[in-house]
Amino acid sequence: QKEVEQDPGPLSVPEGAIVSLNCTYSNSAFQYFMWYRQYSRKGPELLMYTYSSGNKEDGRFTAQVDKSSKYISLFIRDSQPSDSATYLCAMSRTNAGKSTFGDGTTLTVKP
């Protein structure tokens, strides 16, 4: 079983919809939780970064971490066609030196 499982998708939504992207994990030592956005054939870019539990908001994006359930989510409000991309969750332990990635969820926002 993989340490990090991500909802596989693909996901297709109309413009303006609220999108929920989710990952579960098995390693309770994970403390850092990241969401990366990857456009087709490009390198991923960091979207959200959270340490330990709680919520973090940045514009239309909200990241939630529930360590008791080992579950993280990324919410996108008022989704735009430019949000169409693959979203990768990633997480790591303190001083681990490396991150573990989910397989990604491909999102398409239709105008």
| Candidate ranges 14-22, 66-74, 76-84, 86-94; the one touching other proteins (CB under 8 A) | 86-94
Tokens representing 99 are 């991150």
CA-wise closest residue to 38 among 92, 94, 105, 96: 105
Q: Look up tokens 């239709």; give the residue.
A: 110
- What is the Cα–Cα distance from 24 to 89, expressed in whole angstroms? 9
Q: Is 41 in the site for other proteins (CB under 8 A)?
A: yes
* Least distance from other proteins to the Cβ atom of residue 86, Å: 9
Tokens representing 32 are 């850092």
Residue from 32, 61, 67, 84 binding other proteins (CB under 8 A): 32
The residue among 17 and 100 lying less far from other proteins, judged by its C-beta, is 100
Binding interface with other proteins (CB under 8 A)? 6, 32, 34, 36, 41-46, 49, 88, 90, 92, 95, 97-99, 101-104
